[in-house]
Each structure stands twice: as structure tokens, then as C-alpha cells.
Amino acid sequence: MPKNNAIKKVLVIGSGPIVIGQAAEFDYAGTQACRSLKEEGIEVCLVNSNPATIMTDKEIADQVYIEPLDIKVLKEIIIKEKPDSILPTLGGQAGLNLGMELAESGFLEEHNVKLIGTTAETIFKAEDRQAFKDTMEKIGEPVAASLVVKNVEEGIKFTNTIGYPVVLRPAFTLGGSGGGIAHNEQELVDILTNGLRLSRVGEVLVERCIAGWKEVEYEVMRDANGNCITVCNMENIDPVGVHTGDSIVVAPSQTLSDKEYQMLRSSALNIIDELKITGGCNVQYALNPDSFEYCVIEVNPRVSRSSALASKATGYPIAKVTAKIALGYNLDEIENAITKKTFASFEPMLDYCVVKIPRLPFDKFITAKRTLTTQMKATGEVMSICDNFEGALMKAIRSLEQHVDSMRSYDFTQLSKEEILEQLKIVDDRRIWVIAEALRKGISYEQIHEITKIDFWFIDKIAILVEMEDRLESEELTVDLLREAKRMQFPDNVIAQLTKINEEKIRHMRYENNIVAAFKMVDTCAAEFEAETPYYYSVYGSENEAIETKPEKKVLVLGSGPIRIGQGVEFDYCSVHCTWAFAKEGWETVIVNNNPETVSTDFDIADKLYFEPLTAEDVESIVNIEKPDGAVVQFGGQTAIKLTEALMKMGVKILGTKAEDVDAAEDRELFDKILEETHIPRAAGGTVFTADEAKEVANRLGYPVLVRPSYVLGGQGMQIAFSDEEIEEYMGIINRYAQDHPILVDKYLQGKEIEVDAVCDGEDILIPGIMEHIERTGVHSGDSISVYPAPTISDKVRETIVEYTKRLAKALHVKGLINIQFIDMDDEVYVIEVNPRSSRTVPYISKVTGIPIVDLATKVILGETIRSLGYEPGLAPTADYIAIKMPVFSFEKLRGAEISLGPEMKSTGECLGIAKDFNEALYKAFLGAGVVLPKHKQMIMTVKDADKEEAVGVARRFANLGYKIYATRSTAKYLNDNGIEALRINKITQESPNVMDLILGHKIDLVIDTPTQGGDKSRDGFLIRRNAIETGVNCLTSLDTANALALAMETANGKLTPVDIAKVKNA
Amino acid sequence: MKSFLILEDGTVFTGQNVGSTRDVISEIVFNTSMTGYLEVLTDPSYAGQAVVMTYPLIGNYGITPDMESNKPWPMGYVVRELSRIPSNFRSEGTIQDFLQKNNIHGITGIDTRALTKILREKGTMNGLFTTDENYNIDEIIPKLKKYHTGDVVSKVTCEEKSILKGNGKKVALLDLGAKRNIAKSLNDRGCEVVIYPAHTTAEEILNSNPDGIMLSNGPGDPKDCQTIIDEIKKLYNSDVPIFAICLGHQLMALATGADTHKMKYGHRGGNHPVKDLATGRVYISSQNHGYVVDTNTLDDKIAKPAFVNVNDGTNEGLSYIGKNIFTVQFHPEACPGPQDTSYLFDRFINMMGGEK
């Protein structure tokens, strides 16, 4: 069937803020789909609350609403924009749920809007546990014995009939939120209670546990004519029991014979056909490793994390094809964008092996439980491609940027054989390293398999890597041995460590013997057809096929690697925009990145894509082939910045701000000198390497002090220390990893935090806008609510900030972007830090001011000036909207993580509230972040002594909103003494009913708990916060945030007016 | 030990020897299937050829009972990497031993993608597998150019008639190099399948009063099978329903006046889209052929195209006018590859007037 011409205007729903389980993959899917729709002449109206995404750019859609993904707001937008269709299958679970809600409410029918991409009936059949089970039974597809329960008693009763352990899966949640495996009744009650609460419909599936079976996924596509294909299958190295998002995944499957492969493939097609899905779909299977028995685990009737991975792994653009199918096209009418010779109605054939590894946040949340379960914990992932599994695994681990690059990177050598056997039972992110140590200790494949259920084939691959490490350590390094190690993608530095030969010598030996990386193309068809898309991966020992191009100008753009807390999708936004800007200026663009979830690794963003680790050696191999005229590092976050020095050594020119100036901003002494020269004050401080030095500086400055490593992003390891003991502790944490760079100790100043992003052309600067944080200094800027334009600063402060920004940009010879954080303390401005590169706020400020600063910065790098680009230098005129960026956290996914806000960033994403007035913007921002209050109008307050006076005001506001306030002893007394009625409750350690009973009673809206600064060690506060988060209660740890929430609630119930960002212009 | 693969155009690939060390000249073709290496090895259609697997990791699940005939047929086998250990609950041994036992000259460790690109660009070529480091390329190339697969059907067909018992329709299967799953697919649907050697006369088959006749896949150039074509012409003239696959499909076309030609590098893999022209539905099919029926030579009073390849527009199936005959170029019996077109066996049974 050709295109349905009745479709003229489509509303695309995005997935909202990035949280664990729903990340950048939906920006990739949404962006690709919007571009695909526009290509067909469709008017695209987009709604997504996440301002950091590429999809919310006015280049991507015709109307862009960065509005809360809330049913009320969506209805307003539909009434205003009158789309004829809605495409809900590209915005993850969030988008799908909203599409369903709109359809179920009858609103779509009323307004003559059609759900395209898939029907409500299909979504229901796939998502509703009972309906799904019934459908599978009808077509004879096996599912594990299960029952949907609505209460704990039912769950216990059913489990008694099928036996423990059981898996619990709440309906309609993302990333398996609230799910888990229960081995006994106590665990069942705990997980089930939590799961029932988290499920949108209050239902949890209790299921026979098939943990230990192989987990296999199929990505399938179907069009309205019933044509079905599978894009790719994937096998999890971690058997069933670990969420697929947290598993190491390999594509295609490695241990399935054709019989097993085709059995599951046929099943997947059978299912997609019965569900009548049109577009992409994902089917997950558990396969008994000892028979042909299998179970369908679940079906996602939409594009997903796995489909992003499958798209990148095969070159088949699932989201793009899904969008075309939604318009009515059949698969055989859609061109294969890679070969341009074949059509979308085929199945990609790989002639390589793909490995995906999750990026887990345990380096950020050191108290969180590392155990991997059916509840996803990863914030992002890396992918690598090679012609052998060993090489793909080696490349993937070093792409993680977690200080791992060999099978020895996590050291378990101290453990005895017995201890290793015990350790093998622990399922966490270090499992492959434990297996490596087990192999070294002579533990058999059988024993390892018995405990881990990991397939022998994968164990053998780890063994091959361990054997190679042993050989490198014990044998003489011959050319053949070196060649074999490189074939497995051992990096030079690891070979150097093992052979004790210096890395430079090894590099030399490689070049002398022509042991260099060759690049192969991802072409969807295993070379059967000629392909035109230069999408490459490295291998050793093969012929290079990267086509040599000699354009007039060629730029290398370094991406930002896996999504992690502190370095999110914002940097992909910057990399992509920079690439587009270079292309517009006639440059050939080459992107290097390893994140399968992102837009930057879509094969049609740059002229060439290298899917490779972002290490100096891997980048050098690309440089050797491409010989770029320059590289840009300022857009790819810390990942790219870190490569600056190495690139210069390779003779690659750094475009924009020079490396030594980047250094000057990071190096304490150099930077102090610049501040002195420019007469800009900052908090006093010093540079240290050891705890003793740190204590000395701290005592000289007086506590509290801010302790932080240099050259990090997202305030990693940053803490406010109040005592010598805390210094000892924090220095210990920071120094867990070898530090090449010194640690900074500064006097902690408390004031308003102000942030600017600016473009500097070497002479003039352009500041699109000044942002002010709602939380005072001490809370990381990424975790603060940020307001544009800065609402409370004086004219004098504003002018000082503009002046300081100009002085700093000039002193650092910035060409391109600069980000500066200031403190406004009693109308005096101090500098906190300067980053001569893109920042987290760049997409946000670009969108709300209408000034495309990445584009401008790129053009400035290429020699334009701010004036020549048509902008007046200085602070741009204020836009007539208030835009508030709200951080969004994923604490409920990370058992045991400390949630209190501090100098180290903890949020995973952000959303925007934009409106004509401040209060509406604030309300929208909270709504977008999922804070929808009031519900029960009951709250708990427990604040530290220093905050008590201020807490009175906060309490009064909530009391006026009708809240009943519970408080622990001293807080209750203080509030009551000050005329606010507060009910005293017992602490956790005291008898029931205590604060914990109250939280678990599901009648509490909000907990305000301000922990003692500098790390609250009392189990009480920690337990209150964790339990609040885990039972879905909003928990605030800053009174500033609490005041903002009160203000938002005071102005609630007003009409929300959607704002089309595409129409925001800067005068 | 080193092994060399020398192509007609003078290109030499060097790898590690596995299996037999004997010198072998054959036609080099590539297969893009990611699983099913054993089904590929035991597909009689590869007789006279050597197979390059484009998927680089082969042997991962070892040797399983998934053989499509009694023995492997390619004379040479080229892979990027063979798994050190096999891992699968049904694994009975390693592919290394299997190649050795069956006297197949294997090469591992070569850049199979580079080799595939050469075959794609220059077309299928002949090649020599040798372990002799002192090969003389000038002597070898003329020998390579002379090689022709010849009458390979005679080598692969069964020696005598056999029967798979069933209670349903009686099908005569002419074994031109049949994959086991053709007979099995029919037998699983209740058919009694009588398997005949390729050179059985039409008379003998027709005298047994079959409800339908199945012409199988098989190796080589269809035009090398003139005596079989003559018999098939007689089968065409009978009123017995006929279903033909691959070589059988080509022979029926030749028997009825159409022509075939050799493709540049053929279709070998499990991902080829074929469109059913009657319904517009596209199916993913398993394929293994180097020759194709030339649609331009079809007499539209005799046959019309029933399936077409979505990628390159080549013919994938014919339906014969006024006859209960339909033939396909692809492999509905799969093994390896997708099972999407297995419904054609049901169609055949319906054509014979039978119930499934």
C-alpha cells in the first residue's frame, strides 16, 4: 500500500526526561522518525518535556512543545494544533502510555485524531498482562506460568501453587521498575507491595522463575500488508534474571543453532502478526539451554532500547522505517538507506559481531547495591563491533570509560578459590572479571557454568583473553604474538603493562610490522551488495576498506561516549549540531563515538561514522586513515576534552579554543593567575594531592570546604567537608582511582548560583541568557532547578557577570563555547568554575532564547565573528518567556543510593517548564518531572538544626495549602513553638507508629529531610529518604526546592498554555 | 599448517588449514547465513563448489543432527574463524573433526569479507585450495579456468528408490540432490513420499500413480541435465500436480521452452525477499542458486511469474497456465533459514486435492 495521503499533520510524542530505563535511545528514535516524516512532506508537531534532546529542535519538527508529558497538556496541544494523527510508538513507555490514555478517554475520536503506528487494541494486547497471556495462549506461544495479581494475598496464594522462586513484573512500568525475583514469602511480600504501588494500573504479574535460561531477543518489523521481517536477534550473555538493559548483549546470537534461531524467529513473526503491529516491535524469549523449550518473556509494541541497539548493530534504521510504515508504506516500498539498491523488506546479515555493555552508575553511587536484577540500573550503554567476539568485548569495555581495559581491570586476585566460587554467585557488573579470575585459579568451565549459567562459549572466550594476557606476561613478545593480541583488540597500554615493554616501543613495533587497524563497513548485507554508507568499525589482520576521501576540508568530531550521570544526551546534542554546522560550511565531517543510543551514531548524521572506543589509540587509527584537517573536542564533554593532548601529539589541529587554554581553566595555579590578572574574585583555595595537604589547606581556609578532583564532569567526587575526618574520607574515595591531576580544596561560599553559557570569537562574546539556580550553592548545578532569565539578581550583578564572562573568555582565548558558574553572595560576584567547552545547559538555553549557540560557536571556530553572524555582542535581549529547567532523578531504581543533594551530580535527566509567567513555568516544570501534588495532603518534615528557622516559613506555606505536617521531635517542637501545627512522630528506632510506618502507609505526599551537610551518617535520615523514594513519595533535601514546590502548588489549577518553541525568536 | 586459496583472477588468500590437505579445484561461492552452517555443508546443491561463509564465527554450536543429507558436499570450506569449543545441548562434535572426517579442505583465518567483495564484483570464480607453499600461479590459472562443475546431479542423487511412509497423499519426489527437509515437510503433512533417483524415467514415476510430483533442488548448471529435462517434459504433459524447487524449477522452465542463465554471483543466504505476485505479500526466503530462469524467454501461454525477488527483480517462481504446476526458485523447506514460505507445501497438498 502506498502512502496514506489523508495523513498531513502528525503529533509525535517523545519520552520525556532521561531516567534509568528510558534514555537517549528515544531521542534517536524520535529524531529519526521526525526527519523521516518531514521527508514525506508531513507537518510534524512534537511534544517532549526534555529540552536536552535533538528532537526538540525547531529544525526537526514544525512545531515544538517542550511541555510536560501530561494528558491535560497534550489535550491542549491537540486542540491548538489540530493534528490528524498521533504517533505514540516512538516515545518509549511514556509516549505509549499517553497515547493509550488519550485513546481510552475518547478524546481522540472526539477530535477526529487517529492513532497511527499501532492501534490501541494492539498496545493493550501487548501491554496488559492478562490480555497478553490470553493472546499467546490463543496462538500457541508458550509463556511461563503466571498470574496477574492485584494484591499481596493473591500473589502468595498463586506462588504456593507454582513454587518459589517467582519473578514479579509490575504492569505498565518502564525499565522493569519495581520488579524482582522473590525466593521466599518475605521477599515476595516486599517486592509485590512495591510493585503494586508503582504499576499504573495496580497490577503485578507473578511468574514461574526461568532464571538461568538463555535470554534472546528479536527485533521484528511488520507493515499493514502483513509483511514481516526480523531485523536482528540478540543474545544476552547474562542469562534470564538480569534485566536486558543491564546485560552484556551480543548480536547476532552466538550459541543458537539454526533450528533454535528459526524456531524463535518464526514465533516472533507469529506474535507480531497476531498482534497486528505496524512498525517495529521487540520480542524477548527465555530459551531452555538443554532443550527446545522456550517462553515468551515480553513484547514491546514500539521502538525500544533494543531497537536502537539493533539499528546500530545492523544499519537497519528501525525508527525511520516505523515512521514510513505508519504513513501507510509497505516494507517493499521503502528503500534500504544503506545500500540504496535494496529495500526495507529484507533481513540484515551481519559479517561481524556486536557487543553491548551497560554503563552502570556504581562509580557515582558508591553506597548503592551493585547487584543486577530484573530492575534496570544502567544509565547508558556502549556498543562495539569487530570480526571476532574477543575483540568486540575488549573494545566495549574500554569504551565504558570506567578504568577498565582488560580482564584484569577489577582485581580479585586476593580472593581464595573458595571465595571466588562464592563471588561467582553474586550477579553484578564485575561478573566477567570474576570469571576471568576463576579461570586463572583453575576453576573449570563446568563449575563456572553451574553457578552463573553463562554459556560455555562465552566462558571460553573469556578464557581465550585470559590466556592471551598470560602469554603476553610470560612469553617474549614476537611479532606473531603481538599480531594475535591486536586481533583480539588488546590496546597497546595493556600489552605494555603485561609485557613490561614501554607503550611507545610497542606502538613502534606495530607500525614497523604493519600491524595497524583496518576498517570494515557496516552494510546490512554482509558485502552481498555494494553499499554507499561509510559506517565503519576497526579490525586487525584484514584489508582496509574505508574509502579514502580528500575533500578540501575535513573535520573529526569526537562524541561523548556512553550516557552517564553528569554527561548526558546534552553533549550528543552539541556534537550533532556541531557536525551539521561544519557540513553547512562545506566541510566533510567524521564522527567517532561508541554509544548506540544516540543521534550522533546514526549513519546519516556525518559524512562518515566510526563506531569506536574514544581512546587515544583507537582515535589515532582513525586519524591515520582520515588525516583530518582538524578536530573539535569542545562539544563532546569530558570524553572528548580528555583526548586533546593525544590529538595534538598525532599532529591533529584542535579547532577552537586551544588545549593550553583548556588546561589553564582546569589547572589551579594557571587559573588563579588569570583571575588575578583579570581582577575576578573566587573562593580562596589550594591544590593538593594528599589528605594531609588537604587538611592543611582546609584548616587554613576554615571549614566548610569544597573538595573536588580536577578534570571531571558532573562534580564527580565533589564533596563539602566539615571536618578533618570528612576530608580523610573524601580523599580516600577520590583516590580510589589513580589521579593524574591534582585535587582542589576551596572555601565553601553559600550564595545564589548563577550560570552562563557564552560564545566568544576571540574578541567579543555573546551571552544568550543568564540562568539562576533556585538552590543555593552546594547543590550541583546539574541537580539544581535553573531559571532563565535569572529572576532575582540585581542590575549590578548582571553587569558584573557579563563583564567577568567577557574578561575570562578573552583571557582564556576562547574560540567557541564557554560555560561559567558564579556565586552571587550579597551582591558580590565570585567565580566558581570555568569550562571552555559546551555544557549541560547549552541545548536548554539555545531553545529558550532561540539563539543556536552550537551553530554560532562552530562558525566562530571557522573564523566568523559574532558581529558578522548578525548578533550584537554582550548579553542578548531577554526572551519574553520564563523557562525553568528541572532535574529528574532515578533514585527509585538504585537500591541503597544516597539521594540527598550535594556538590556531586545525581540527576539522570531534566525537563522544562516554559510560560509567560514564573509560577506557571515552575508548575509545568514540576509537572514535567512527575511531581503531581497534592494527593493526600500529609507530609513529614525533619530538618537539621541550622535549617529550623527557615523551615518555619516552608512549613507555613504547606500548612496554608492544607497539609497536615508530621515532624520528628525537635523539628515538631520548633514548628509548634513558632505557631505551625506539627504532629510529633517517633523516629525509626523508636516504637511504632513511627516515621517509617507513616511512609509505608501510603498516605504521605512529601518528605522534607535536610541532612546534616557533609554526609549524614545517621541510619535514620538515610532510611527515611530511601524508603520515601522506594515507596514513590517525593523527597526533598533542600528547603529551596521545597519553597519552589510550595510556590508551584499555590499557583496550581490555573490554565496551562502550551508554548511552541519553534516560534520563540530573539529580537 | 598454512592453506592457500588461489582464485582465477590471481588473487591469493592465505589462512590456516583445517580438515583435508588435498588440493581441490572448485567453484567458489559465498553464503550469507548467520546460522545453519551444517545445513549449508550438507546441502547437495553445493556439490562441485566451495563455500565461503560471510559470517565470521562458525562452529559455535558444533555438529548437531541437523544434516540435510548423508554427508557434506562442498569440496572446500572458507571461514574467518572456527570456534575453539562447540557449545550446544545437541552438539555431537566439532566442525574441525567433521571436515577432517569428510575430507573437506577448509581454510580459516582469512578475510572472508574481502573475498566476498571480490566474488561480488567479479562474479563467481573458480579457485584452488592447496597447502603447497610452492604453488605456481601461472600453471594453476589455466586449470582453474577449465574447471566446470559438470553433471553433478548424478553424483548427489540417491542410488535407489526409498519410501517415507504416510497416510495422506502419495508424492513422488525426484531427487536431483534433495535436501532432507523437502521430504520431511511433505511427510510431516501426512504424505507418503517415494524418493526416486534423478535418472528415473517419467514413465516409471507416472506408472506408480502418484497424487503429485515433487522436483527437488540440486547442484550445477541446469543445462547439464538434458536427459532429465526430457523426462520432465513428459511429466509436464501428464495431469499430475507438480511442485518444484530451485533446480527442479529451472528444469521445468527449460523443459517448457524457457531459458536460464548464470547469475553474476547468485543468491545464497537466508534473507532474500520474494514477493508473491498474486497477493503482494513479501516473504523472507532461504536461497541457494547460481542460475536463474530468464523471465524474457517465458511463453505467456505456458507460464507466468508467480514470485519475484524484491532486491534485483529476478524470477523466483512460476505458475503454469492450465496446469496444476507451480515452481519456486527459493527454498520453502528452509534449513537453514526462514520458514516463512513453508505454506507452499500446504498449497501443494491442496493442489493434489488433499487435506493437510
Q: Which three cell numbers stand for residue A197?
A: 504501588
Residue ranges of domains in chain B: 2-149, 153-352
Residues 6+ away with beta carbon under 8 Å from A85: A7, A9, A10, A11, A113, A114, A115, A116, A326
Q: What is the DSSP string of A904-959?
A: S----EEEEEEESSHHHHHHHHHHHTT----SS-EEEEEE-GGGHHHHHHHHHHHH
Buried b (16+ CB within 10 A) or exposed e, A621-659: bbbebbebbbbbbbbbbbbbbbbbeebeebebebbbbbe
Residues A89, A154: one domain?
A: no
Mutate which: B11, B12, B31, B32, vs A, most A CBs within 10 A: B32
Residues A743, A879: one domain?
A: yes
A114 vs A119: CA distance, rounded Å? 9
Measured in whole angstroms, the distance separating CA A763 from the mean position of its chain's CA atoms is 36
The CB density around residue A937, as the number of other CB atoms within 10 Å, is 16
For residue A487, the domain's CATH number is 1.10.1030.10
Question: Using one digit for the tens of pLDDT, what is the confidence trace for A124-141?
Answer: 888 887 899 899 999 999
* Least confident piece of the model among A77-86, A236-245, A530-539, A1026-1035: A1026-1035
Element (H, E) at A621: helix A616-626
Residue bearing cell 542458486: B289
Q: Which three cell numbers stand for residue A168?
A: 514479579
A743 vs A974: CA distance, rounded Å? 40
Stretch B190-196: mean pLDDT? 97
Stretch A468-483: mean pLDDT? 97
How high is the pLDDT of residue A713?
60
For residue A964, the domain's CATH number is 3.40.50.1380
Does residue B356 carry a pLDDT above 50? no
Q: Across the strands, what pairs with A9? A: A43
Stretch A247-271: mean pLDDT? 97
Q: What is the DSSP string of A179-204?
A: -EEESSHHHHHHHHHHHHHHSTTS-E
B296 vs B308: CA distance, rounded Å? 13
| A270 interfaces chain B, CB cutoff of 8 Å | no
> A988 pLDDT band (50/70/90 cuts)?
confident
Residues A682, A779: one domain?
A: yes
> A1018 pLDDT band (50/70/90 cuts)?
low
B278 vs A852: CA distance, rounded Å? 53
> A736 pLDDT band (50/70/90 cuts)?
low
Question: Using one digit for the tens of pLDDT, what is the confidence trace for A364-400?
Answer: 888 888 999 888 999 999 999 999 999 999 999 999 9
A789-795 contacts, C-beta under 8 A, 24 or more apart: A789/A878, A789/A879, A789/A882, A790/A754, A791/A882, A791/A918, A792/A752, A793/A752, A793/A754, A793/A824, A794/A827
Q: What is the rounded end-to-end Cα distance, in angstroms, of chain B?
A: 54
Does residue B316 carry a pLDDT above 50? yes
How high is the pLDDT of residue A739?
59
Question: Using one digit for the tens of pLDDT, what is the confidence trace for B84-124?
Answer: 999 999 999 999 999 999 999 999 999 999 999 999 999 99
* Residue A574 within a domain: yes
Mutate which: B284, B287, B288, B307, vs A, most A CBs within 10 A: B284
Does residue A919 carry a pLDDT above 90? yes
A472 vs A957: CA distance, rounded Å? 68
Find, in chain B, the residue whose alpha carbon is nearest to that of A334. B310
Q: What is the DSSP string of B88-127?
A: -TT--S-HHHHHHHTT-EEEESS-HHHHHHHHHHH-SEEE
Does residue B256 carry a pLDDT above 60? yes
Please give the angle made by the CA atoms of A229, A231 and A233, to the nearest 5 degrees: 115
Are residues B61 and A345, on separate chains, in Cβ contact within 8 Å? no
Residues A822, A712: one domain?
A: yes
Residues of B in contact with A227 (CB under 8 A): 281-283
With pLDDT > 90 as the criterion, what percentage of chain A qualifies?
72
Three-class secondary structure assignment of B13-46 = EEEEEEECCCCEEEEEEEECCCCCHHHHHCCHHH
Are residues A526 and B337, on separate chains, in Cβ contact within 8 Å? no
Stretch A292-300: mean pLDDT? 93
Residues of B in contact with A386 (CB under 8 A): none
Stretch A749-757: mean pLDDT? 94
Residue bearing cell 499557583: A1051
Question: Using one digit for the tens of pLDDT, what is the confidence trace for B274-314?
Answer: 999 999 999 999 999 999 999 999 999 999 999 999 999 99
Are residues B339 and A266, on separate chains, in Cβ contact within 8 Å? yes
Q: Which three cell numbers stand for residue A376?
A: 534496570
* Least confident piece of the model among A10-19, A78-87, A1045-1054, B130-139: A1045-1054
Stretch A669-687: mean pLDDT? 90
* Least confident piece of the model among A314-323, A619-628, A893-902: A893-902
A1016 vs A944: CA distance, rounded Å? 10
* Closest to B158 (Cα-Cα) out of B206, B211, B194: B194
Does residue A1014 carry a pLDDT above 50? no
How high is the pLDDT of residue A406?
97
Q: What is the dihedral of CA A459, A461, A466, A470, to 10 degrees?
A: 130
Residues of A in contact with B117 (CB under 8 A): 527, 545
* Residue A299 within a domain: yes
Find, in chain B, the residue whose alpha carbon is nearest to that of A266. B339
Residues A568, A645: one domain?
A: yes
Are residues A254 and B57, on separate chains, in Cβ contact within 8 Å? yes
A117 vs A120: CA distance, rounded Å? 10
The verdict on whether B335 is a catalytic residue reads no
A46 vs A26: CA distance, rounded Å? 13
Which of A655, A684, A699 is the endpoint of a domain? A655
Q: What is the rounded end-to-end Cα distance, in angstroms, of chain A?
A: 47
A372 vs A238: CA distance, rounded Å? 10
Question: Using one digit for the tens of pLDDT, what is the confidence trace for A555-592?
Answer: 999 999 999 999 999 999 999 999 999 999 999 999 99
* Residue A525 within a domain: no
Does residue A1 carry a pLDDT above 80? no
How high is the pLDDT of residue A128?
83
Domain B153-352 adopts which CATH fold?
Rossmann fold (3.40.50)
Does residue A997 carry a pLDDT above 90? no
Q: Which three cell numbers stand for residue A506?
A: 610497542
| A265 interfaces chain B, CB cutoff of 8 Å | yes
| A546 interfaces chain B, CB cutoff of 8 Å | no
A414 vs A693: CA distance, rounded Å? 31
Residues A171, A251: one domain?
A: no
Question: Within chain B, where are the H helices?
Answer: 37-41, 95-101, 112-122, 137-146, 153-156, 180-188, 202-207, 226-237, 247-255, 343-351
A125 vs A134: CA distance, rounded Å? 9
Phi, psi of A670, rounded to the nearest 5 degrees: -60, -40
How high is the pLDDT of residue A518?
97
With pLDDT > 70 as the criterion, what percentage of chain A qualifies?
97
Residues A861, A740: one domain?
A: yes
| Nearest residue, CB atoms, B114 vs list A352, A353, A542 | A542
Domains in chain A, number: 7
Phi, psi of A65, rounded to the nearest 5 degrees: -110, 110
Does residue A694 carry a pLDDT above 80? yes
How high is the pLDDT of residue A1067?
42
Does residue A1012 carry a pLDDT above 90? no
CB B265, CB B120: distance < 8 Å: yes
The verdict on whether B160 is a catalytic residue reads no
How high is the pLDDT of residue A722?
86
Are residues A257 and B36, on separate chains, in Cβ contact within 8 Å? yes
Find, in chain B, the residue whose alpha carbon is nearest to that of A292. B89
Does residue A484 carry a pLDDT above 60? yes
Question: Using one digit for the tens of pLDDT, what is the confidence trace for A781-831?
Answer: 999 999 999 999 999 999 999 999 999 999 999 999 999 999 999 999 999
Residues A39, A105: one domain?
A: yes
Residues A309, A430: one domain?
A: no
Stretch A908-931: mean pLDDT? 94
* Residue A1060 within a domain: no
Stretch A512-538: mean pLDDT? 93
Does residue A738 carry a pLDDT above 70? no
Are residues A226 and B57, on separate chains, in Cβ contact within 8 Å? no
| A484 interfaces chain B, CB cutoff of 8 Å | no
* Residue A806 within a domain: yes
Q: What is the DSSP string of A249-313?
A: EEES-SS--HHHHHHHHHHHHHHHHHHT--EEEEEEEEE-TTSS-EEEEEEESS--HHHHHHHHH
* Closest to A34 (Cα-Cα) out of A1062, A952, A749, A1057: A1062
* Residue A914 within a domain: no
| Nearest residue, CB atoms, A527 vs list B57, B90, B117 | B117
Find, in chain A, the residue whose alpha carbon is nearest to that of B53. A351
Average pLDDT, rounded, for chain A? 92
Are residues B273 and A330, on separate chains, in Cβ contact within 8 Å? no
Does residue A173 carry a pLDDT above 60? no
* Residue A1066 within a domain: no
Stretch B195-211: mean pLDDT? 97
Three-class secondary structure assignment of A118-158 = CCHHHHHHHHCHHHHHHHHHHCCCCCCCEEEECCHHHHHHH
Phi-psi region of A778 (alpha: psi -120 to 50; beta: other; left: phi over 0): left
CB B221, CB B291: distance < 8 Å: yes
B58 vs B37: CA distance, rounded Å? 7
> B44 pLDDT band (50/70/90 cuts)?
very high
Between residues A615 and A145, the one the model is more confident about: A615
Q: Which three cell numbers stand for residue A528?
A: 552481498
Mutate which: B264, B310, B314, vs A, most A CBs within 10 A: B310
Residues of B in contact with A228 (CB under 8 A): 340
Binding residues of A for Mg(2+): 284, 298, 300, 821, 833, 835
Q: Which three cell numbers stand for residue B107?
A: 581454510
| Nearest residue, CB atoms, B282 vs list A257, A331, A530 | A331
Residues A310, A398: one domain?
A: no
Does residue A259 carry a pLDDT above 70? yes
Residues 6+ away with beta carbon under 8 Å from A553: A586, A587, A588, A629
| Nearest residue, CB atoms, A257 vs list B35, B282, B284 | B35
Query: In the sheet where A719-721 sits, what is the strand order?
Result: A685-688, A743-747, A705-709, A719-721
CB A466, CB A394: distance < 8 Å: no
* Residue A124 within a domain: no
Host domain of residue A617: 542-655
Q: Across the strands, what pairs with A382? A: A357
| Nearest residue, CB atoms, B36 vs list A258, A353, A460 | A258
Does residue B330 carry a pLDDT above 80? yes
How high is the pLDDT of residue A714?
61
Are residues A332 and B89, on separate chains, in Cβ contact within 8 Å? no
For residue A768, the domain's CATH number is 3.30.470.20
The verdict on whether B148 is a catalytic residue reads no
Stretch A922-946: mean pLDDT? 92
CB A968, CB A942: distance < 8 Å: yes
Residues A39, A168: one domain?
A: no
B355 vs A908: CA distance, rounded Å? 60
Catalytic residue among B39, B68, B192, B246: B246
How high is the pLDDT of residue A611?
98
B173 vs B217: CA distance, rounded Å? 11
> A689 pLDDT band (50/70/90 cuts)?
confident
Q: What is the dihedral of CA A893, A895, A898, A900, to 10 degrees?
A: 40
Which of A655, A683, A713 is the endpoint of a domain? A655
Residues A480, A547: one domain?
A: no
For residue A53, the domain's CATH number is 3.40.50.20
CB A220, CB A281: distance < 8 Å: yes
Complex ipTM tops 0.85? yes
Stretch A413-442: mean pLDDT? 97
Are residues B56 and A252, on separate chains, in Cβ contact within 8 Å? no
A783 vs A1038: CA distance, rounded Å? 11
State the helix-helix crossing angle for A503-512 and A479-487, rounded to 10 degrees: 100
CATH code for the structural domain at B2-149: 3.50.30.20
Measured in whole angstroms, the distance separating CA A859 from the mean position of its chain's CA atoms is 29
> A740 pLDDT band (50/70/90 cuts)?
low
> A712 pLDDT band (50/70/90 cuts)?
low
Stretch A607-632: mean pLDDT? 97
Phi, psi of A1021, rounded to the nearest 5 degrees: -60, -45
A659 vs A641: CA distance, rounded Å? 9
Most confident among A1-15, A223-237, A931-945 (mean pLDDT): A223-237
